[in-house]
Amino acid sequence: MIVFVLLSLLAVAGALGTILWKNALYSALSLVGTLLALACIFVTLEAQFLASVQVIVYAGAIMVLFLFVIMLLNAQYPDQHEDPLPWLAPVAIAGGIVLAGALAYTAFLFKAPKALETAAKALQGGTPGPVGETLFTKFLLPFEAVSLLLIIAVVGAVALVKREPEGKQVRETLEERATHTPEEVVA
């Protein structure tokens, strides 16, 4: 229980840091703290493989990508300008407290379907072997779909950030031509 309390305090502190820092760089680093705490919580939940994947993929790859973009765009500082929705922050905080209370209350309505010890034993520690066995039998179709998704994501990301070559004009589509030059049609 002590381990859980410590880890959850760490996770909540990191989450609060994520939303409270004005500097996006500090926000991202706080989120890394939350993700690492969650990885430790995964270990206590008999999910060792997921814990390591969480560290490698989330705290490692994804957050590094975030930090790259924040530093590349030099976007750590927020733009100074007038807030168009000044009433939104207090409403959001009040709503968030209500939401957290409701979710926490609902959580304690959960009745355990079986004894925790026998259920935890069935997971076999969540090591790569048993997880991989499920992945390549029952989850084979989602697995293949995800591989397709990753290819689409890579191609899409490259297409999004690609620059137009110098001197090459963007061609008008037929529809644009039809809507942009009504005078010529009349003449």
Q: Which of residues 127-166 bind another protein (CB under 8 A)?
A: 130-131, 134-135, 138-139, 142-143, 146, 149-150, 152-154, 156-158, 160-161
* Per CB under 8 A, 49 contacts another protein: yes
Can you tell me whether residue 23 is helix, strand or coil?
A: coil
- Given the complex with another protein, which of 156 and 178 has the nearer CB atom? 156
Residue from the set 120, 172, 176, 180 that interacts with another protein by CB under 8 A: 120
Using alpha carbons only, what angle is made at residue 174 by residues 169 and 176, rounded to the nearest 5 degrees? Answer: 75
- Given the complex with another protein, which of 5 and 187 has the nearer CB atom? 5
Structure tokens at 159: 């297409």
* Per CB under 8 A, 178 contacts another protein: no
What letters, b where the CB count within 10 A reaches 16 and e where it falls short, cover 148-159? eeeeeeeeeeee
| Spatial distance between the Cα atoms of 147 and 95, rounded to a whole number of angstroms | 38
| Spatial distance between the Cα atoms of 144 and 148, rounded to a whole number of angstroms | 6
Residue from the set 6, 44, 177, 178 that interacts with another protein by CB under 8 A: 44
Residues between 72 and 111 with contacts to another protein, criterion CB under 8 A: 72-73, 75, 78-79, 81, 83-84, 88-89, 91-93, 95-97, 99-100, 102-104, 106-108, 110
* Per CB under 8 A, 71 contacts another protein: no
* Per CB under 8 A, 31 contacts another protein: yes
Structure tokens at 32: 């890394």
Residue 178 CB, shortest distance to another protein, in Å, is: 18
Q: Which residues contact 151 (CB under 8 A, 6 or more apart)?
A: none
- Given the complex with another protein, which of 64 and 178 has the nearer CB atom? 64
Residue 93 CB, shortest distance to another protein, in Å, is: 6
Residue 113 CB, shortest distance to another protein, in Å, is: 6
CB 33 within 8 A of CB 66: no
Give the other-Cβ count within 10 Å of 30's Cβ: 19
CB 51 within 8 A of CB 40: yes
* Per CB under 8 A, 6 contacts another protein: no
